Structure 1
Amino acid sequence: MAIPQHTIDQILDRTDIVDLIGQRVKLKKTGRTYSGCCPFHQEKSPSFHVYRDKQYYHCFGCQANGNAIRFLMDIDSRNFVDVMKDLSSQTGIELPKDNHDNKRLAYKRESAKPVVATPKVETKAQENAPVQADTNNFETDPFEAFQYQEFDPSQFDLAENAEPSFSQEGNLYDLLENVAQFYERQLPNSKSAQKYFKHRGLSQETLQFWRLGYAPEDWQHLEKAFPQDIEGLKLLGLIRSSDSGRDFDLLRDRVIFPIRDAKGRVVGFGGRALNDEIKPKYINSPDSEVFHKNQLLYGLYEGRKQRAQDWLMVEGYMDVIALQQYGIHGAVATLGTASNTEHLNILFKQNSRITIAFDGDAAGQKAAKRTLEIALPLLNDGRELKFFVLPKEHDPDSLIRREGIETFKKLWDQAPLLSDFVFALLSQQFDVTSPEGKSQVMAELNQLTELLPKQGSYRYLLRQFFREKLGFNKKWQAQVSLDASLSFNIRTKDEDFAVAILMNHPFLYIHFENLRAVIPQEELLAQVLNTFDKVFDELPDDQELATYYMLGACSRFHQELSDIMQRTNIQALTQAPEMADKLASEYALALQEKYLKQKLKAPLSLIESRNLRQQLNELTKKIGLRLLHS
C-alpha cells in the first residue's frame, strides 16, 4: 500500500505522542518534556524523554528516537502498514485503498455497437487505414470522415458475422489518457487553435512537451469518439446534461491543457476559449475521483521531471508554459483556485525556499495579503517565502518577452523576503516616522506573528527585525571589554559561543534543544541547557527581559558566564537577528556532530551504536544541504 506523505503528516499531526507513549511507559512531566524509563533497554534512572511540541521521543541512554510511527513499529515489532492502519482508525484519517481495490476508478462501459465495414466512399487518408473497432486506442480520429455531419447508416454495410462485445469495466485514468490523445490529434485540424499558440510564441517542441490540444466545437464530439465510455466521461464531468436532458461536452472550441498529477497521469483538463468574448475564458474539468483542484499544481510534475531547484508560483497555465520554454522549469500554477495551505505545503516539500508571483495591481496586492495570512502558520524554521510583485500590466510571459530572461531572473532574485514584504506593506499604511505610527505597525505585526508556529525562532526573529527597522534602541547593553575580539578565536570553545548566544538570545534555545541528548552532563553548556529546559516556557516575550530572566536562573554559573560574555563579545557579532539565528543553527549542528562522533567511539550496546549511526547519517545530510544552500 502506497501512503502519500501528506496523509502520513496529517495522521502524525492528529496523534498526541505523549498520550500514545503514555499508554506503554509511565511518564512524568519534567520541564519541557515528559520522562520515564526507556522501554527499549533496561534502566533504573529515567532517561527516556518525549517532546509533545515536536511529536518526538529520544532516549539519552540507548539513543532510540523517532516519532509515533517509529515507536509503535519498534515496541511491537510491527511493519509500517499495520501501524498506519491502527493510527488511521484512531485519528479518523482514511488511508488510500489497496492497489487491487480500484472500484472508485471503475465505470461500466457500454456494449460496443456492431463493427462497421469500410465505408463505400473513402477519403484518400482512409484508403490504407485499417478498420479499428476499439476507439480507445486509435491512431487517427475514426470519425474524421463524417465529423460535424449527420450520421447516415446507409453509407455503411454491416460487417459479416459481426458480434457485439459484452459490457466491461473501464478505468478512469485510462479514459483520461485516451481523451488527452484525442484532443492532441485535433490540434492540427484547427487553424484558429494553431494561430493562438503561435501568437503566444510556443514552439512545436513546447506543444508536444505539454501535450496541448484542441476540443472541437461539435457539442457531442466525445460521445462520437468514445461511444462506449459515456458513463466514465460523465463521472469525469467532461459530459454534462442540460435541463432538458440533452447531453453536451463541457469543453468546446477551446485549446486544451491536460493536467497531470505528481505521477504524470492525466487527471483533468483546462480549456481556454479562442474568442475573448466568450465567458468564462478558462474552464477546468470539475473535481472527480481522480481530480482534486485544491491538491494539485499545474506544472509540478513537469518541473520535477526537469529537476527544478527553484520554485515559483504564478497565475496561469500559459505563464508556466512560457517560463518553461525560456528555461525556467520550476514554475507552477493553481488550477483556477486561490492558493491554499495544501498548495504551499506541496511546494515546500520540493524546496524550503519558494517564491509567489503577484500582479502589481490592487487585485494582486489583495491576493498577496491573503497568501500571507495562509502562509504564516506554515513557516517553520528553515522555510523561506519570497513575494515577487510584477510590474503593472505584466504577467511573467509578457515580462520575459519585453525585458528578456536575464532581467526576469534578476527581478526574481531581488524579490523581497516575507519579512521585507510585510514591513513595506505596513509602512505604506502607517507613518513610521511617528511614535504612534510605529506603535500601530507593531500592533499589526503582533497580530500577524500570532499566526506563526509557536515552535521555532521565526516569530521572535521577525519581531526583532521590525524593532531594528523602526529604530528601537536597547536600553541594556552587555558589559564586555572593548578590546574583545570580534572574530571566533581558536582559544574559545564552540560550547562557549553557544552559551553566549543562548544568554543574549534566549529564544534560540530551540536550535540547541536536541543537543541535550548527546552532550556530557559535566559540560557547562549541558547544565545551561538543562536550566533552559525547565524554565523556557516561562520566559518573558521581550528579549531583553528574557535575557535577565535566564541570567537569574543561571546565577550559580555567574562567574563562568561573565567570563564567556567578555571573551566572545557575542552581542557585537549578532546584532542582526538573522545572523544570530544563523550562528545558533550552525553551532548547534556542529556540536551535535562532535558529540555524536564521541559517543560512537564507545557505545554502550549494539542498539545504541545503531541508533547513533542513524542519527549521524541524518545529521550529515542536514549539514550537507545547509552548505549547499548557503
Structure 2
Amino acid sequence: MARIPEETLQAIRDRVDLVDLIGRHVNLKKSGRNFTGLCPFHQEKTPSFNVNVERQIFHCFGCGEGGNAISFLIKHENLTFPEAARTLARELGIEVPEHDATPGASGLAERLRGANQLAQELYVEALAASQAEGARAYLAQRGIGPEEIASFGIGFAPASGRALLGRLEREKIPAEIGKQAGLLGARDDRHFDMLRGRVTFPIQDARGQVLGFGGRAMSDEQKPKYLNTPESPVYKKREVLYGLHLALAAMRKNERAVVVEGYFDRIAMHRAGVEEAVATCGTSLTAEHARALRRRTQRVVLVFDGDAAGQKAIESSLHVLLPEGLRVEAVLLPAGQDPDDLLASEGAEGLRARVDAAVPAIELVTRRHVANGCSTP
C-alpha cells in the first residue's frame, strides 16, 4: 500500500470535525471551550475524557489516551494508520494519491471498487425480489434471517446471467471493468455474469469496501458448491479476511481474534455473539493474514472443522502465526462438525463456551501426534 503524502494527512487533520467524529461514540457535553465525556477506552463513572476543539485533539486524564482524529479511529475502531486515514479521507471527500502505484492504477482500483459496489446493490435488491424466494428459503433453512442478511450484506445473483451486465451497461461502466473486477466472464467476445443463481457474500476490507464476492450454490446439482470471484487488482485472497470490518471493535474489546474457515461459520459466530470472528476466503491462513491479525491483537483462537483436515489446518496455521509472535489457541470440535453445525446442535451458549474453553494450539497438535504413535512430536 502506498505511503499517504503528508499534505494529504494534513488536509484530513484540518478538515475533520473531531467533536462530530468522537460524538458518534461518546456522549459529549460542552464544558467551557471544550467537550467532556466518559472515556471510551477505560471504565469510569466520572468524565475524564476531554476534546479540545481549537487544537482538534482528545485526551483522557484517567487512562492517558490521547491524540487526533486518526489516532482515535486507530484505537477505537482497531484500524491501522493507513486504514484510519483513508476512512476519514473518504468521508471528507479527500482523494488519497497512490504515489508508488503504476500509472493509472489508482483510478482503475476506484473503478473496480465502484463496479463491485454496484454489484452489491444489485445482489441485495435481487434477494428481496419475488424471484429470490428460493434463496430466502435456503438461508432461512440455514438459520439466517433478516438481521444476519442485513449485517453481512448477503444477496442473490439472478440466474439469467445478464442482470449485472445490464446494470453495469446502464451505469456506463464498461464490461471490461466488470471483467477485471471478476464480476463478468467472456466467451466468444460476449460477456456474462460470473455469479448466477447463487446466494452472494460480499468480501470487504477493513473499511467495509467491497473487494469481491463469494457465491454459494443452493442445491447439490449446482457445481461447484462455492464459486468466488477471481483475484483482481483490489481483491487478494492472501490478504483478505471475511467479516474483518465487523470484527474490529470486538477484537479490541475482547483482546482476541477468532478464525474460522468459511462464510457460514463466520455468520454462526455472529449469531452466537462471538463478534471478533473472521474467516479466510477459500485459502489457508497466510503470512499476510497473520500480519493483519498481529496489527490488531496478540491472541488468535482457531475454530476449524472437527475432521482430520481441520486438525492438520491447525498445525499448518501454527507455522504461519507463531513467527508473528501471536499467542495461538484452538478449539477441537466434534468429528464431522463445523461451527455452523455446532450452533444448530448446542445453541449459542454452547458454541460460545467451546470458544472460551480454547487451549494452546500446540497442545492439541502434540496430543494428535502422540495419539498417532509419535513419541517425540
Aligned position for 2:363: 420
User: 1:339 maps to which residue?
Assistant: 285
Provide the rounded CA distance (Å) in 1 between the counterparts of 2:242 and 2:253: 14
- Deviation beyond 6 Å, 4+ runs, structure 1: 99-102
Q: Secondary structure at the match of 1:313?
A: strand
What is residue 122 of structure 2 aligned with on the other side?
A: 182
For 1:284, the equivalent position in structure 2 comes to: 228
How far off its partner does 1:308 sit?
Answer: 5.2
For normalisation by structure 1, the TM-score amounts to 0.42
After TM superposition, give the deviation of residue 348 of structure 1 in Å.
2.4
1:325 paired residue number: 271
Alignment of 1:366-381 (within 5 A): 366-379=312-325
Change (3 A) 1:354 1:180: same
Shift in alpha-carbon separation, 1:237–1:425, aligned structure 2, 3 A: same
Give CA deviations for 1:72-99 in whole Å, capped at 9, x if unaligned: xxxxxxxxxxxxxxxxxxxxxxxx8249
Distance of 2:110 and 2:314 partners within structure 1: 43
| Counterpart for residue 303 of structure 1 | 247
Summarize deviations over 1:514-551 as a string: whole Å, max 9, x none.
xxxxxxxxxxxxxxxxxxxxxxxxxxxxxxxxxxxxxx
Give the Å deviation of 1:103: 2.1
Distance 1:418 1:401, change over 3 A: same
Helix, strand or coil: the match of 2:295?
A: helix
Q: CA RMSD in A?
A: 2.6
What secondary structure does 1:370 align onto? helix
Shift of 1:171: 2.1
- State the partner residue of 2:37: none
8 Å CA contact 2:115–2:181 kept in 1: the answer is no
Q: Tell me by how many angstroms 1:175 deviates.
A: 2.1
Matched-pair contact (CA < 8 Å) for 2:240–2:281: yes
In the TM superposition, residue 423 of structure 1 has moved relative to its aligned partner by 2.7
CA distance in 2 between counterparts of 1:333 and 1:308 reads 19
Structure 1 match to 2:166: 224
Question: What secondary structure does 2:185 align onto?
Answer: strand
What residue in structure 2 maps to residue 238 of structure 1?
183
Q: CA deviation at 1:422?
A: 3.4
SS of the aligned residue for 2:335 comes to coil
Aligned AA (2:338): D
Name the count of aligned residue pairs: 279
Match of 2:304 among 347, 358, 361: 358
Q: Do 1:105 and 1:289's aligned partners in 2 also have CA atoms closer than 8 Å?
A: no
CA–CA separation in structure 1 for the residues paired with 2:107 and 2:219: 36
The 5 A counterparts of 1:352-501 are 352-379=298-325, 383-430=326-373, 437=375, 441=376, 444=377
In the alignment, the residues of structure 1 paired with residue 195 and residue 301 of structure 2 have an alpha-carbon distance, to the nearest angstrom, of 32
Could you tell me how far 1:101 is from its partner in structure 2? 8.8
Q: Which has the higher strand share?
A: 2
AA of the residue aligned to 1:183:
Y
Contact preservation (8 Å) 1:294, 1:343: yes
3-state SS of paired residue (2:301): strand
Give, as a single letter, the amino acid of the residue that structure 1 aligns with 2:115: L
Distance 1:231 1:387, change over 3 A: same
Shift of 1:210: 1.0
DSSP 3-state at the match of 1:329: coil
**Aligned equivalents of 1:302, 1:238: Cα separation in 2:** 24
Question: Secondary structure at the residue paired with 1:248?
Answer: strand
* Aligned AA (1:269): F
| Residue in structure 2 matched with residue 314 of structure 1 by the alignment | 260
SS of match in other structure, 2:238: helix
Residue 389 of structure 1 deviates from its aligned partner by 1.6
Scaled by the length of structure 2, the TM-score of the pair is 0.68
The 3-state SS of whatever aligns with 2:232 is coil
Query: Contact between 2:331 and 2:359, CA under 8 Å: does it hold in 1?
Result: yes
Give the one of 151, 176, 189 matched to 1:209.
151
Report the residue type matching 2:304 in the other structure.
F
Which position in structure 1 is the counterpart of 2:193?
A: 249
- What amino acid does structure 2 have at the position aligned with 1:104? A
Question: How far did 1:409 drift?
Answer: 2.3
What residue ranges of structure 1 are gaps of 5+ in the alignment?
5-95, 108-168, 432-436, 445-630
**Whole-Å separation in 2 of the counterparts to 1:206 and 1:356:** 22
The verdict on how the C-alpha distance between 1:422 and 1:205 changes in structure 2, with shifts beyond 3 A counting, is closer
Instruction: Say whether the 8 Å CA contact 1:170–1:232 is kept in structure 2.
Output: no
Q: Contact 1:387–1:418 (CA<8 Å) still a contact in 2?
A: yes
How far has the Cα of 1:374 moved from its partner? Answer: 2.8
| Structure 2: segments with no counterpart, 5+ residues | 5-96
The change in CA–CA distance for 1:102 and 1:258 in structure 2 (over 3 A counts) is: farther
Shift of 1:270: 0.8
Distance 2:219 2:159 in 1: 12
Question: Which runs of structure 2 are paired with 1:74-223 in the superposition (5 Å)?
Answer: 97-98=98-99, 103-106=104-107, 171-189=111-129, 190-223=132-165
Residue type of the partner of 2:225? K
CA distance in 1, matches of 2:3, 2:335: 43
Offset at 1:251?
0.3
SS at match of 1:404: helix
Q: Where does residue 208 of structure 2 map in the other structure?
A: 264
Instruction: Return the offset for 1:105.
Output: 4.2
SS at match of 1:255: strand
Question: 2-side partners of 1:106 and 1:276: how far apart?
Answer: 40
Q: How does 1:49-88 map to 2 (within 5 A)?
A: none
What is the CA distance between 1:215 and its match in structure 2?
Answer: 0.5
Between the aligned partners of 1:308 and 1:199, the Cα distance in structure 2 is 32
- Deviation of 1:184 (Å): 0.5
Distance 1:360 1:100, change over 3 A: closer
Rounded to whole Å, the distance in 2 between the matches of 1:213 and 1:419 is: 39
